[in-house]
Amino acid sequence: MELLTLRSNRNGLKGEIEVPGDKSISHRSIMFGSIANGMTTVTNFLLGEDCLSTISCFRKLGVLIEQDTQKVVIYGKGMSELQEPKDILDVGNSGTTIRLLTGILAGLHFHSTLIGDSSIGKRPMTRVVTPLREMGAKIDGREEGKYTPLSVRGGNLQSITYRLPVASAQVKSAILFAGLNADGITTVIEPVPTRDHTERMIQRFGGKISRHENEIQVEGGQKLLGTEIHVPGDISSAAFFLVAGCIVSNSSITLKNVGLNPTRTGIIDVLQSMGASIDIQIDAADAFEPTGTINVMSSKLKGTVIEGEIIPKLIDEIPIIALLATQAEGVTVIKDAHELKVKETNRIDTVVMELKKLGADIQATDDGMIITGGTKLTGAKVNSHGDHRIGMMLAIASQICEGEMILENVNAIAVSYPAFFEHLHILSN
């Protein structure tokens, strides 16, 4: 278990960084590139471990993928040309890989086995297994398909109309991938809007998809064509430095090329409602995925309530928002976030446990947390629990702690942000 000693920041975080490519979009660029016909070129691809797992799985399915740092070229031959893998498909730590890939495999006439690490082994798979079985795929797994290892034998799929029981872009995307391979029109109804990168990418690859309020429809049998994808920066990675800029005294941070897809920008709404000093310049609002430059400065913050429809727009940012709330005046309440319990860790429990070690006034609830702000944090021995977002949240917390922090299990951060400490270092000098 790797550990790191971190010290507080005395001079403020200053300067400019370009945040790494978006994880959700990087995964999808490989998946769509692999099922499309023709060459797809991806630039600014995220070299996080999760996205590298996606590349490895599609190579095992017979797709030629060349990767040279952040540039990836995929030689797609169409969905039906994917081949039965000779080996197990290992998704590592990536929930997005396993859920979306299962949606693709559901419509292919061969057998495959999917596994992941110990965290993946605890995450619910029924949410994708149930609708995909309903469409005609044969899927089995531990505890009748609840958990990995999963075994998939795809088949002829029938379109369905499916009302998502939870707001999940992964489940929506798995069904849309299967829908591309099904007879007829597949309809997915979301309880509230979730990230729409899959829908945007279907259009980018020349396909058709429609949306009316929370109902999304896709027709099976469409041919997708290879294209060029420039991956915008990941707002979920930017979030760590957006919060750092607000809570570390004397800071002014500029983040370039931040993805500003409105289904992902909940963190910005929260920062603004808490009184953060934040300035946004949008690059091109009509781009395939909009981007912009964000400047953030040390701010006096006040507590807020975060609940309802905004939750999916900031679901991965809740650990760092919890840290932000410890530094705001008054109480912050986070509700309707049950989904945090089934991420890489139970993020309600791990956030509360680790922030308490630093002296935060934070309490877990059934669907979120209650944080009373204005507390001075003190360094302690803390642990990421193998969860990249918990690791980065704690590393940012170290910047405002009195005394040293020892962060255990620090290598988890490479799952989504391998350059995290390099960027922290650039801003610290």
Ligand X SMILES: C=C(OP(=O)(O)O)C(=O)O
Ligand Y SMILES: O=C(O)C1=C[C@@H](OP(=O)(O)O)[C@@H](O)[C@H](O)C1
Annotated binding site: 23-24, 28, 95, 123, 168, 170, 316, 343, 347, 389
Helix 388-398 with 235-247: angle, nearest 10 deg: 20
Residues that bind ligand Y (CB under 6 A): 24, 96, 168-170, 173, 195, 315-316, 339
Residues that constitute the known binding site for 3-phosphoshikimate: 23-24, 28, 168, 170, 316, 343
User: What minimum distance in Å lies between the beta carbon of 347 and ligand Y?
Assistant: 10
User: What minimum distance in Å lies between the beta carbon of 286 and ligand X?
Assistant: 27
List, in order, residues 6 or more apart from 90 with CB less than 8 Å away: 53, 56, 57, 114, 115, 116
Closest CA to 21 of 65, 67, 80: 67
Residues that constitute the known binding site for phosphoenolpyruvate: 23, 95, 123, 170, 347, 389
Token pair of 67 as six digits: 């990767």
Residues 325-364 that bind ligand X (CB under 6 A): 343-344
User: What minimum distance in Å lies between the beta carbon of 170 and ligand Y?
Assistant: 3
Surface-to-core class of residue 128, CB atoms within 10 Å of its CB (0-12 exposed, 13-18 middle, 19+ buried): buried
Task: Classify residue 159 as left (phi > 0), alpha (psi -120 to 50) or beta.
Answer: beta
**Quick one: what does residue 173 bind among ligand Y, ligand X, none, with the CB cut-off 5 to 8 Å set by partner type?**
ligand Y
Give CA–CA dist 187/170, Å, rounded: 15
User: What minimum distance in Å lies between the beta carbon of 331 and ligand X?
Assistant: 25
Residue 237 is a binding residue for ligand X (CB under 6 A): no
Closest to ligand Y by CB, 170 or 217: 170
Closest CA to 28 of 99, 89, 126, 83: 99
User: What minimum distance in Å lies between the beta carbon of 117 and ligand Y?
Assistant: 15
Annotated catalytic residue, options 22, 117, 196, 316: 316
Helix 388-398 with 347-357: angle, nearest 10 deg: 20
Residues 384-413 that bind ligand X (CB under 6 A): 389
Q: How far is CA 429 from the centre of its chain?
A: 29
Residue 316 is a binding residue for ligand X (CB under 6 A): yes
Question: Is residue 316 flagged as an active site residue?
Answer: yes
Q: Spell out, one character per residue from 84 to 103, where the chain touches ligand X: x when CB under 6 A holds, - when not.
A: ----------xxx-------
**Quick one: what does residue 60 bind among ligand X, ligand Y, none, with the CB cut-off 5 to 8 Å set by partner type?**
none
Closest to ligand X by CB, 95 or 379: 95
Residue 53 is a binding residue for ligand X (CB under 6 A): no
With H, G, I as helix, E, B as strand and everything else as coil, classify residue 34: helix
With H, G, I as helix, E, B as strand and everything else as coil, classify residue 110: coil
Give CA–CA dist 21/146, Å, rounded: 31
Catalytic residue ranges: 316
Site residues for ligand X per CB under 6 A? 23, 50, 94-96, 316, 343-344, 389, 416
